[in-house]
Amino acid sequence: MTKSRFLALVTALALLLAIPTAVFAQRVPPHVFVGSVTLDGATAADGAAVTAWIDGEQVASTTSSGGTYSLVVDQADSVYAGKTISFKVSGSDAAETAEWVQGGGDELNLVADTAGASGGDGSTGEKGESGAKGAQGPKGSTGATGPAGPAGPAGAAGADGKAGSDGKAGAAGAAGSDGAPGSAGAAGADGGGGALGVIALIVAIVALVAAGGAFMTGRRA
């Protein structure tokens, strides 16, 4: 240990001894750290911030002077015993760490870099096996109806159908009305004898029948 570092450590411990005994009765003695400060391979400039961290929280801070620092990590209301202390120089992580000890005093030279070296790209891993085929998804909804296509050409004319069968004979018509009576025959001569009268009557009857037959024939036609 150099003379200056030894004096810094002694000074820090002397400050602790100067604290009244009543205060120690209520507070746990802190852990004091002294040492050199190096940043990016060179001695840290005066005024460079030196901080101590426990569980991700800053617990103490100071500044460098002449390339050295003196830092008091007081337990305060928390319990630090056995916990790891990490350090930062001007916001960059120092490589060194320490364990908090009640009333401890250590020389710890801090070395920090503002930017760590980038690691090379790792090699590509092997392709994994194909996973199992997933379950079939639900059936999709029916799509909209498409527009009607153009009309096709007219088909060839069909052959003529067979002639239909003859219809049934119609019912007989109603009977015609009786014909008009024939004209009266000529009157027989008086006293002409009975034979002529009979003949004349027969002729009249025949004429009447003939006239009736002619009338009926005409009606039927």
Handedness of CA 73, 79, 82, 84 (dihedral sign): negative
Looking at residue 176, its pLDDT comes to 66
Q: What is the pLDDT of residues 77-119, one digit of tens each?
A: 668 988 999 999 999 999 999 999 999 999 999 999 997 544 4
User: How many angstroms separate the first and last alpha carbons of the chain?
Assistant: 164
The DSSP element (H or E) to which 85 belongs, if any, is strand 84-89
pTM of the model: 0.45
> Residues of the chain with pLDDT > 90: what percent?
35
In this structure, of 58-62, 89-93, 188-192, 217-221, the range with the lowest mean pLDDT score is 188-192
Under 8 Å between Cβ of 37 and 89: yes
Please, which pLDDT band fits residue 24 given cuts at 50, 70 and 90?
very low
> Each residue of 175-184: pLDDT tens digit?
767 667 767 6
Neighbours of 50 (CB within 10 A): 24
